[in-house]
């Protein structure tokens, strides 16, 4: 019995030693594991990419323009070489560029500065005037209405520049607004305007341009959209500068004038000559598009008013005057060659 007891005690002691050794080994393994994890973690920490210099960006833009020199307007000696370069650079940005290139306001501003360098101070009003002059000077060239491709490409450049001006002032406002609530209201207002822009453009296409395909269809479509985009641009500049002089109309109006146009358009639409269904939309499709235009415009006004109140701006009367003017002309103005405005 004593011998068995000694053997049993020996087994117990050995088990304790093995248990202690196992715990020690596990502890070392955990420490090594943590060390390895830290080593792995440290190994994947990389420096943030260095911001490219202006010179590097310009080299990239120049290379992109050289590689995508496909869509030009051949003006020969009608404009100076630098002007022709700027025209064709923007033309290629519009047609060959993806969304990232077309939205690159720094690249487009560089093209404008290369073509028409204008010294400005830090005063925001002067910077606004600079962009206006540069865009006006760039678009100051003649195209032949009978050369459809020239008109289409000039219209495309004009659209690119309308979008550019809107993006510039959206970004300026994002940088200006420090209050979180104002930023939230602004993003909601931007979203509401984008929905309205899409709806009103769709309504014009269905009501006036129909399903037909012809050389200047998208030029006329842009012609309408430019009025809507111009209204947006002036609204953004007004908010940024707190300056009502940027509006191109002297008088304002109330909703009842806009509502009158919405109420009377269905009758005018019905009186217009209809084309076979393969070339035209149904009356109901046109009315549905008009109703979507009206609803999204109201939604935009509500979102804009909520933001304007916070900013101490009151420009709703100008927005309504612009909309009223557009509604008056919608059926028989924008799809005329003599009304083209670049």
pLDDT at site 47: 55
Every domain of the chain and the residues it spans: 53-176, 178-342
As a whole number of Å, the end-to-end CA separation of the chain is: 113
Instruction: Provide the token pair at 194.
Output: 């984008």
219-240 in b/e form (b: 16+ CB < 10 A) is: bbbbbbbbbbbbbbbbbbbbbb
pLDDT at site 337: 86
Q: Dump strand ranges (E) for the chain.
A: none
Greater model confidence, 342 or 297: 297
CA–CA separation, 303 and 170 (whole Å): 15
User: pLDDT class for 11, splitting at 50, 70, 90?
Assistant: very low
Mean pLDDT over residues 207-226, rounded? 94
Mean pLDDT over residues 187-200, rounded? 98
pLDDT at site 12: 45
- The yes-or-no verdict on residue 18 having pLDDT over 70 is no
Instruction: Provide the token pair at 84.
Output: 């022709």
Half-sphere exposure at residue 224, Cβ-oriented, CA atoms within 13 angstroms: 29
User: pLDDT class for 147, splitting at 50, 70, 90?
Assistant: confident
User: pLDDT class for 251, splitting at 50, 70, 90?
Assistant: confident
Distances in Å between the Cα of 64 and the Cα atoms of 14, 103, 136, 153 are: 76, 15, 25, 19
- Quote the mean pLDDT of the chain: 87
- With a CB cutoff of 8 Å and minimum separation 6, the contacts of 232 are 166, 193, 197
Is there a contact between 202 and 292 (Cβ–Cβ < 8 Å)? yes
With 0-12 / 13-18 / 19 or more C-beta atoms within 10 angstroms meaning exposed / middle / buried, residue 317 is: middle
pLDDT digits (tens, 9 = 90+) for 92-132: 999 999 999 999 999 999 999 999 999 877 789 999 999 99
pLDDT digits (tens, 9 = 90+) for 53-106: 999 999 999 999 999 999 999 998 899 999 999 999 999 999 999 999 999 999
User: pLDDT class for 5, splitting at 50, 70, 90?
Assistant: very low
Angle among Cα 273, 275, 276 to the nearest 5 degrees reads 150
pLDDT at site 19: 43
């Amino acid at each position: 019995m004593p011998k068995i007891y000694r053997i049993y005690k020996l087994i117990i002691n050995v088990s304790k030693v093995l248990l202690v050794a196992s715990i020690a080994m596990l502890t070392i393994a955990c420490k090594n594991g943590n060390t390895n994890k830290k080593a792995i973690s440290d190994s994947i920490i990389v420096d943030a990419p260095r911001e490219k210099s202006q010179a590097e960006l310009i080299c990239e833009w120049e290379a992109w323009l050289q590689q995508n020199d496909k869509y030009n307007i051949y003006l020969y000696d009608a404009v100076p070489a630098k002007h022709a370069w700027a025209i064709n650079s923007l033309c290629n940005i519009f047609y060959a560029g993806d969304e990232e290139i077309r939205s690159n306001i720094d690249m487009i501003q560089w093209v404008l500065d290369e073509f028409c360098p204008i010294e400005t101070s830090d005063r925001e009003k002067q910077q606004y005037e600079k962009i206006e002059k540069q865009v006006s000077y760039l678009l100051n060239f003649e195209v032949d209405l009978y050369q459809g491709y020239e008109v289409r490409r000039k219209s495309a450049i004009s659209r690119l520049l309308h979008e550019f001006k809107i993006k510039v002032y959206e970004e300026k406002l994002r940088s200006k607004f420090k209050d979180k609530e104002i930023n939230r209201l602004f993003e909601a207002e931007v979203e509401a305007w984008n929905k309205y822009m899409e709806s009103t453009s769709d309504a014009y296409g269905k009501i006036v341009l129909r399903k037909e395909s012809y050389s200047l269809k998208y030029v006329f479509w842009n012609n309408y959209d430019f009025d809507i985009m111009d209204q947006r641009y002036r609204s953004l500049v007004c908010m940024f500068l707190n300056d009502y002089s940027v509006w191109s109309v002297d008088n304002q109006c109330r909703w009842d004038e806009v509502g009158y146009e919405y109420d009377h358009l269905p009758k005018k639409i019905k009186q217009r000559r209809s084309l076979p269904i393969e070339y035209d939309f149904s009356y109901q499709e046109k009315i549905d598009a008009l109703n979507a235009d009206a609803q999204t415009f109201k939604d935009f006004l509500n979102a804009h008013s909520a933001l304007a109140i916070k900013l101490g701006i009151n420009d709703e009367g100008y927005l309504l005057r612009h909309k009223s003017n557009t509604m008056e002309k919608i059926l028989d103005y924008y799809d005329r060659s003599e009304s083209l405005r670049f």
